[in-house]
């Protein structure tokens, strides 16, 4: 069932509970985060059928990016965080990803892989710390977008 239905019927129920940290995201918050990310993807020039790649650990941010891609009709490839830069670059290039989202924890691999992936048009990184040249903060990039669809 689509998360929006749950967000409308049970907005305060937990959609995501992280076992290791206890972080909880309600259906209403998950829906809002997915919508914000979907606005970002559309504003990036991505259209139905385009492709993005994601290199990050399992968690709420990964799930909201997946949800945003689904809402906008994008294909997405989740890349294993144990791969080497050449392997990640192969996946990014072979999938024809136009955008790559990575976490700060994956910075060394993501940075090296992106340098080998000429089709990438935009690179976003979540989390704290300095950004590599050519990368944007995911949090800053989504900051100005509305929390509801079609706004």
CA angle 72/2/68 to nearest 5° reads 30
Could you tell me whether strands 51-55 and 24-26 are parallel, antiparallel, or unpaired per DSSP bridges? unpaired
CATH of 3-142, one of 3.40.50.980, 3.40.1190.20, 3.40.50.2020, 3.40.50.620: 3.40.50.980
Residue ranges per structural domain of the chain: 3-142
19 CB-near residues (< 8 Å, 6+ apart)? none
pLDDT per residue, tens digit, the chain (151 aa), is 567 766 667 667 878 888 989 898 888 999 999 999 999 999 999 999 999 999 999 999 999 999 999 999 999 999 999 999 999 999 999 999 999 999 999 999 999 999 999 999 999 999 999 999 999 999 999 999 988 776 5
The encoded tokens of residue 5 equal: 């239905």
Predicted model pTM = 0.91
């Amino acid at each position: 069932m689509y998360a929006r239905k749950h967000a409308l019927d049970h907005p305060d129920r937990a959609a995501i509970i992280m076992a290791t940290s206890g972080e909880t995201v309600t259906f209403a918050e998950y829906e809002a985060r997915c919508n914000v990310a979907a606005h970002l993807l559309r504003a990036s020039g991505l259209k139905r059928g385009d492709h993005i790649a994601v290199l990050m650990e399992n968690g709420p941010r990964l799930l909201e990016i997946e949800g945003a891609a689904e809402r906008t009709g994008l294909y997405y490839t989740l890349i294993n965080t144990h791969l080497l830069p050449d392997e990640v670059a192969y996946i990014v290039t072979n999938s024809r990803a136009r955008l790559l989202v990575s976490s700060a924890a994956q910075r060394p691999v993501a940075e090296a892989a992106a340098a080998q992936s000429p089709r990438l048009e935009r690179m976003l990184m979540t989390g704290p710390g300095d950004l590599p040249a050519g990368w944007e903060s995911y949090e800053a990039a989504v900051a100005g977008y509305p929390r509801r669809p079609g706004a």
